[in-house]
A and B are shown apart, each in its own frame.
Chain A
Amino acid sequence: MRYLIEHETVLEYPQTVREHHIELRLAPRSDGHQRVLSCVIETEPAAELASYTDYFGNRVDYFCVIQPHSRLVTRLRSEVETLKENPFDFEAVPPAEECEWLAKAVRHMPSWNDFVLHRSLLTPTAMKLAEAVSCAFPRQDRERPLLDALMDLLAWVPTVLEYRSGTTEVHGALTAAVLQGSGVCQDFAHLFITVARSWGIPARYVMGYLDPGVSEAGAAMATHAWAEALVPGAGWVGFDATHNLLANDHYVAVAVGRDSYDAAPQRGSFKGESAGEQPSVTVMMQEQ
């Protein structure tokens, strides 16, 4: 599939701010599953952009606006071709060899230890979470293929959480969402990740976009979030717990991280009297 994506963020301040530094994780990833055909980022006021690749492999574009300003706009326009039609299309590893396959993969990539070991308010220890969840966690049975267990987990998450936009904060604690029984896509992804990690399976957070034809009817177009787990034989496979779907070519991945904080699309620091205002974000995704 080919998509055109536009993502605009407007920050407005009641009093002027200055020495404003911004980091953006907005440029879609280029990997085996998707190709970036074009990517342009503009800012208002105009600024000189520079970029680097962060620890998680995300492209970061950054800039600064030094002069006093009360409005700051960033605009991304990107064309992406997605290639992953069938996420089940891989050569499976026999269940008895899956543990060894994962251990070897992590040994070669020590940084993937983060996706097993990391705990935060967003992805707490399973024990902390268990105190909040009234029903039993799905279990991983070593006799069955790991993918089956992950599919069960994918189906289990929506039995704990109901999708309701605006009910939780973007970087809100996962236990709060679970206690109230509802949340947004970040919470769904974090819950999936938390349980997968408790099994010792590397799992990470993905921020990106989902074809509006697939997402919740009537939901305002915004960034989406899902999880990726390391599946023996396949590598990183996307699990969208909000929709109980495996990520395919309707998904455009932008940034990955241990949790939503690592993959936040925009992060900034400024001087001035204004408190951090909520940004106003407009996203457009169009099949071409």
Chain B
Amino acid sequence: MYNSGTQGNKPRTPYHEFYADDFTPRDHYRLLWDHIKATGNNALEAKAHESQLALQAEGVTFTVYGESEEGIERIWPFDLIPRIITAAEWVKIESGLKQRVRALNLFLADLYGEQRIIKDGVIPAELIYQGRDFRREIVGIVPPRGIYTHVSGIDIIRDEQGEFLILEDNLRTPSGVSYMIENRVIERRIMPEFFSKYRVRRVEHYPSLLLAALRALSPRGKEAADIVLLTPGIYNSAYFEHTFLAKEMGVELAEGRDMVVINDIVYLKTTTGLQRIDVIYRRIDDDFLDPLVFRSDSSLGIAGLINAWRAGNVAIVNAPGSGIADDKAVYPYVPDIIRYYLGQQPILNNVPTYQMTNVTDREYVFDNMERMVIKAVSESGGYGMLMGPSSTAALRKEFVDLVLENPRNYIAQPVVYLSRHVCYMDGELEARHLDLRPYVIYGDDIEVVPGGLTRVALRKGSLVVNSSQGGGSKDTWVLAE
């Protein structure tokens, strides 16, 4: 996909979520703004302090991995001022996400089945066969109800014109949903007066939605569904979320070593003996899931799990192999994937993307690196990424070499100046860039939880919102009609 060429020369002012162009609050923020003005900065300061204490007391944390192997646990950074999405805006986001998730699941079923989309020449075979996350080990297995991505967390940004664009599909083990819920809980407690002025749709029922979707997958029927949440353990950056969801859903939190497969049946080892398990909500990567078929040095997984899955005795959520559909080199093809399987135009557009396997694209990107984001296709969380505008010449040189060594492993996108929002920062209201990750559950039907995780780049001017890179967050309100 190519830039129009003029885009780079236009003045690029990020869209402001809160203020209209004349610096008055947008209509749906007016009530909130009036309230903030009336109560004043001192009240905000007190509330900010109170929210900090509440997060600390509740132990809402996340882990940052830096240079050292050992992670550092931090209190979840939360901003008081909610982000508000109107009912009309949400209609578009919701329908766009449902369409995308439906198409991506058809795509996965096809890739691991007949491969019509390759035979018809819509997707180049090389793209799939050179993708690290195309799992040959599961070809021919049909997962329960043909669903691969029961949980998706899809990143949406807003460009300079205010258009919502899809930035990334996260279809493996997307995290952050616990923070979406915690943000709401804190916001309701600290700012109850905000909620009296708006009709905000609920997000707190997410765990019950997920539980219903998991139960429905049980090979023994949903009345007899024994479920575990499979975690890599306490050192994982999302361990807080694993414990949170297990507790909220009332399911067992287990590690691979707590489980065993005997003749294609999966069991949890309990103090009273073996307990049969029907559904595994796994929060570990494919690579580590089953040492018999994937990485043999993995001690996190369960040997024999894939054979049990093939035999239809257990459901795995999300299905192994889903990662090929959120491979960043496949991403530019998602609009074609939607057209191919659904015969519809995409409701939400992609960010323009350059493929490093294409020589023309690559040369263009190398000539304009200061205006580009370069991403490794199989990484997430802001790792393995070059942010052009803030990069050094040495780092750009390093990325040129990396790209040339393995072009299939990289894509580039023109830097999109993410929309901004007011944040309460050390006594002042300041503008910061943000994105949105709504969560989509594919159970009986596809459901998008009205809200999501709004991530904020806390450093002034920064466009990197990932929590692992020091991002913050806001409660996200979707308004009822």
Contacts and interface: CB of A to CB of B under 8 A. Distances in A.
Interface in B409-455: none
Residue with the highest number of chain A CB atoms closer than 10 Å, among B129, B139, B264, B311: B129
A74 to B, nearest CB: 15
Contacts of A117: 126, 129-130
A113 interface: yes
B125 A268 contact: no
Given A66-B262, A106-B125, A117-B130, 4 more contacts: A50-B307, A53-B140, A110-B129, A270-B303
Interface residues on B, range: 20 to 34
Contacts of B126: 113, 117
B205 interface: no
Interface residues of A, number: 26
Contact of A50 (B130, B137, B264, B296): B264
B129 A64 contact: no
A100 to B, nearest CB: 16
A237 to B, nearest CB: 23
Contact of A110 (B119, B260, B304): B119
Nearest to B117: A110
B180 to A, nearest CB: 37
Contacts of B55: none
A62 B307 contact: yes
Interface string A38-68: 0000000000101011111000001010100
A139 interface: no
Interface of B: 115, 118-119, 125-126, 128-130, 136-137, 139-140, 260-264, 291-293, 296, 303-304, 307, 310-311
A205 to B, nearest CB: 14
A269 B307 contact: no
A269 B125 contact: no
A110 B117 CA distance: 10
A23 B126 CA distance: 29
A267 B292 contact: yes
B292 A269 contact: yes
Contacts of A48: 263
B291 A269 contact: yes
Nearest to B121: A107
B307 A110 contact: no
Contact of B303 (A21, A56, A118): A21
A19 interface: yes
A53 B310 CA distance: 11
Given A19-B260, A23-B292, A55 B115 contact: no
Contact of B118 (A50, A54, A110): A110
A211 interface: no
A114 interface: yes
Interface in A88-136: 106-108, 110-111, 113-114, 117-118
23 contacts: A21-B261, A21-B292, A23-B292, A23-B293, A48-B263, A50-B311, A54-B137, A55-B137, A55-B140, A56-B136, A64-B261, A64-B263, A64-B303, A107-B119, A110-B118, A110-B129, A113-B126, A113-B128, A114-B129, A114-B136, A117-B126, A267-B296, A268-B292
B292 A52 contact: no
Nearest to B130: A117
Interface in A224-242: none
Contacts of A107: 119
A113 B136 CA distance: 12
Contacts of B307: 50, 52, 62
